[in-house]
Structure 1
Amino acid sequence: MALIPGDAEISPRNWGAEQARLYAESGGTEGTTFEGAPCLLLDYVGRRSGTVRRTVLIYGRDGDDYLIVGSKGGSPTHPHWYLNIEAEPDVRVQVGTQRFPARAETLSPEEKARVWPQLVALYAPYEEYDQRIERDIPVVRLRRTDT
């Protein structure tokens, strides 16, 4: 199921619901960082509801691709957005004022090991989360599909 253009419901369970609202309402000119780290908006389809949801996430880069981390603040469970994009990897992304379709893919352990240091440098709490919990924190590549 491909995402259709339009608005999305801001995920109420996300730590950044107000930030996501500000980001979207400003057209990507406000709410674009968290504690100095760059943020993007991710629109995805709910695996059970079919509702298009939106969340704000810190991102890193790997070439032309965007990287997001399923840390859920160090929670022992995966974030809902991650479970949803596993079921439906076609997403919509907004970085600043640019909106585009993308495909989400969880990185292999080898790829994650390669990019993890740069993600921790971007947002240091990722390292503490990783040491505190037993689950493997997924790193997801978002690759533009409109190019």
Structure 2
Amino acid sequence: MSRTDFNAHTIAEFRSNHGKVGGYFKGAPLLLLHTVGARSGKPRINPVMYLQDGKRYLVFASKGGADTNPDWYYNLKAHPDIQIEVGDETIDVRADEVLGAERNNLFKRQATL
């Protein structure tokens, strides 16, 4: 299954089940990240695991441990005012990059999910 097909299937399942999905993401906190393509300007949606920290929804551009960032990272850098879907709710948010010690501490917390 291609990444596009996988994402489309996961998005449909997420929306049909109030933000819950099975398979690879079963039991994981998942949100739908709506971005605008950094180069294309086209709307994009990616299912992404998240860590809630108070009122913040944190996503990690780890790309499964790869040496490169996922495309959505560059989309957020170019267009930080976005929407996320969490459960049945759509929320307007502004993406900010967390750096330094705070980033390291949050990444450790996220790794336990």
Q: Shared topology, TM-score over 0.5?
A: yes
Q: Shift of residue 46 of structure 1?
A: 0.4
* Structure 2 unaligned regions, length at least 5: none
Q: Which residue of 2 aligns with 1:12?
A: 4
Say whether residues 1:99 and 2:65 are aligned partners: no
**Overall identity of the aligned pairs, in %:** 35
Output the TM-score relative to the length of structure 1. 0.67
Question: Contact 2:20–2:27 at 8 Å: present in 1 too?
Answer: no
| Partner of residue 31 from structure 1, selected from 21, 43, 47 | 21
Taking the TM superposition and a 5 Å limit, the aligned residue runs for 1:1-147 are 12=4, 16-24=7-15, 26=16, 28-31=18-21, 34-122=25-113
- The whole-number CA distance in structure 2 between the counterparts of 1:87 and 1:31 is 29
More helix by share: 2
Q: Which residue of 2 aligns with 1:141?
A: none
Output the TM-score relative to the length of structure 2. 0.85
* Structure 1 unaligned regions, length at least 5: 1-10, 123-147
Aligned residues: 110
Question: Contact 1:37–1:58 at 8 Å: present in 2 too?
Answer: yes
4+ long deviations beyond 4 Å: none
More strand by share: 1
Question: Contact 1:43–1:92 at 8 Å: present in 2 too?
Answer: yes
| Worse-superposed segment, 81-90 or 110-119 | 110-119
